[in-house]
Structure 1
Amino acid sequence: MDADALSDARRPEWERLDALSRAHRLNGAQVDELIVRYRAASADLAELKTSVGDSPQGAYLSTILAAARLRLTGASDSILTQATRFFGSQLPAALYRVRWTTLVIALAFVLIWAVTGAWIAADPERVATLGPPDVLQQYAEEDFVEYYQPAASFAGMVWTNNAWLAMQCVLFGVSGVWPVWMLAQNAIGIGVATAVMASYGYLDVMLLHILPHGMLELTCLFVAAAAGLHVFWAWVAPGPRTRGAALAAEGRALATVAIGLVFALGLSGLVEGFVTGSALPSPVKLVIGAAALGAFLFYMLVTGRRAVRRGESGDLVEYEAGTPTLVAG
């Protein structure tokens, strides 16, 4: 077969395929034409490869077919576009959707913390069961404060640990048990520490060493638990969707929370590592902690509400999530 003769005979059809591939918008008839011409051009390329091997005509046709293939199948967005969509729409929308559950979890956590601390501190015999008096006194006077000594390694350790806890809440939230158990355990633990510190007159010291970073840190864990429980609820009450479809959609949407909280917990880790145990005045520490929490809440509630009003749910776009199941009607 003569490659030049085939190229001359088919060039108008190839150029039409190229034009369709580059068109900004296509109607139904043009899409059908694009598919037909793509198949025909693919057959032409196969014939060229079989008859003459590599050739300039084959290279030219391969370029046109590659462009047509991208037009038919779609192409992923750039990293910058994906990051902008994630942080500007997907993540804040997912955070906004769990706002009320987050509030309920926060109130329950504080209640368990307060009840546990008050119940133990009210009876010296209960405090005594926590350990020898000299050990408890050393914990209240020295160990608790020394734990928060400023250090980059400490900030990194705190960040890694809290990010892992947040991811567990989201990923294992489908069980409906893990987030509740983990937060209840932590609330009781902080309540026990509160009882010890209060018994030795250091409750104010404890609060000043927890609040600067704890306001944002604990909020992030509450959000993670809320996201995990939403995944669980999608499995329990899927609505009109199948359980698999509901679980997949909620899992994709709320897994973004686990990723986003890594950054928020990074900020909390910096505050804990470099502000909480620093020599800064206590009011300054509290202002820094409140500012970090305020920025997160603004992003969650204000930016998130705007994203939801635009129709964002936090789920992946179709290209990222894969081809959906097609239904008639």
Structure 2
Amino acid sequence: MAELQLKSHRFRAEREADWRRLERLLDRAEKSGVRRLQPAELLEIPVLYRQALSSLSVARAISLDQGLVDYLEALSSRAYFFVYGARTSAWTRIAGFFRHDWPEAVRGLWRETVVAAAITALAAVVAFGLVVRDPDWFYSFVPQALAAGREPHATTEFLRGTLQSGKDHKDGLEVLATFLFTHNSQIALYAFAFGFAFCVLTAVLLVANGGTLGAFLALFAQHGLAAPAVGWLMIHGVTELFAVTLAGAAGLSIGWAVAFPGARTRMDAVMHVGRRGALVMAGVVVMLFFAALLEGFARQLIQADWARYAIAAATAVVWGAYFYLPRGRRRAR
């Protein structure tokens, strides 16, 4: 035991100065940035890193005390990430997300996106037809709290007035936008999270969302207000519905991986699609924030139907071009 302690002491005494030097350089680089290091110091770090690895190998081979081995392992790990790790700024990573990562993830889910959009559209058409034939069906698709007086027994003038709400009441729009962002984000997150239940709950949520849309449109159409109602909904609805559809697509991809993992294990399959789904959902939150601004501000302040349609068309073109237009190949990192 005494001999082992003596070996450890001599080993540390001969090499500790280099370890401490490497530790100080890493501390400075992590706290102040790589640019604060001198060129000679940058060249010194790889040399010290290799020496630390050699010391770690010897320490393990001759069974030195565990505390020294743990210290060298931690130091070598820090140096490894400095020498070999990709060092990019936060702004570079954010730019890479919006330029490549998010659009590529969305394009990778194009099949699921088509399915999610089809489910939503079919539910909207069915709900529209049922409410037109029998207005009592309206309450099967729209909760009374959400209807806020926009119900089959409402007058045409009242319904027309709801399409112009906000023109003379601009105060509190910030609160409305915040509420809408929170509410829509919850729907999108549920659509994604429910995918684990073999796609069933995600599909149900998409059906409910489409049914609500169809029922509202049927209500206004019966009062001759279909065109203004579509403009009122689509000024923000293009972005919002697309975001919820993408969230549903991400959820469907997870549910499909759970049900049919293929050659992978079920856990590996879920992890594979989950990474892509996480990228999509990060972007969906951005889309819903933008939709909340349109719904909380633009829809309330812009009253002309043509302007609402123009904004809806512009957002559709922008999102479609952003996600699906061909772009240059991504440069290797």
Q: Does structure 1 retain, via aligned residues, the 8 Å contact 2:152–2:219?
A: no
Counterpart CA distance in 2 for 1:145 and 1:253 is: 40
* 1:89 counterpart (96, 100, 116): 100
Counterpart CA distance in 1 for 2:318 and 2:275 is: 25
Counterpart CA distance in 2 for 1:298 and 1:172 is: 29
Q: Which residue of 2 aligns with 1:69?
A: 77
Instruction: Give the TM-score normalised by structure 1.
Output: 0.70
Q: Does the residue aligned with 1:239 lie in a helix, a strand or coil?
A: coil
Instruction: Give the TM-score normalised by structure 2.
Output: 0.69
Q: Which residue of 1 aligns with 2:34?
A: none
Counterpart CA distance in 2 for 1:16 and 1:152 is: 54
* 1:164 counterpart (186, 207, 210): 186
Q: Which residue of 2 aligns with 1:26?
A: none
Provide closer, same or farther for how the CA distance between residues 120 and 272 of structure 1 changes in structure 2, counting only shifts above 3 A.
same
Amino acid at match of 2:213: I
Counterpart CA distance in 1 for 2:293 and 2:320 is: 18
Q: Does structure 2 retain, via aligned residues, the 8 Å contact 1:92–1:300?
A: yes
Offset of 1:97 from its aligned partner? 0.9
Q: Which residue of 2 aligns with 1:186?
A: 209
Offset of 1:137 from its aligned partner? 4.4
Q: Does the residue aligned with 1:135 lie in a helix, a strand or coil?
A: coil
Q: Does structure 2 retain, via aligned residues, the 8 Å contact 1:42–1:65?
A: no
Gaps of 5+ in 2: 1-5, 23-40, 140-150
Q: Which residue of 2 aligns with 1:253?
A: 276
Amino-acid identity (%): 24
* 2:305 counterpart (274, 282, 286): 282
Offset of 1:207 from its aligned partner? 0.8
Gaps of 5+ in 1: 24-29, 51-61, 313-329
Matches within 5 A, 1:1-329: 10=15, 21-22=45-46, 35-40=53-58, 68-72=76-80, 77=87, 78-121=89-132, 123=133, 126-127=134-135, 130=138, 134-135=153-154, 137=156, 140-143=159-162, 145-146=164-165, 151-175=173-197, 176-302=199-325
**Bigger Cα displacement from structure 2, 72-81 vs 208-217:** 72-81
Counterpart CA distance in 2 for 1:147 and 1:298 is: 31
After superposition, the CA RMSD in angstroms is 4.2
Provide closer, same or farther for how the CA distance between residues 11 and 199 of structure 1 changes in structure 2, counting only shifts above 3 A.
closer
Instruction: Give the total of aligned pairs.
Output: 286
Amino acid at match of 2:255: F
Counterpart CA distance in 2 for 1:220 and 1:88 is: 18
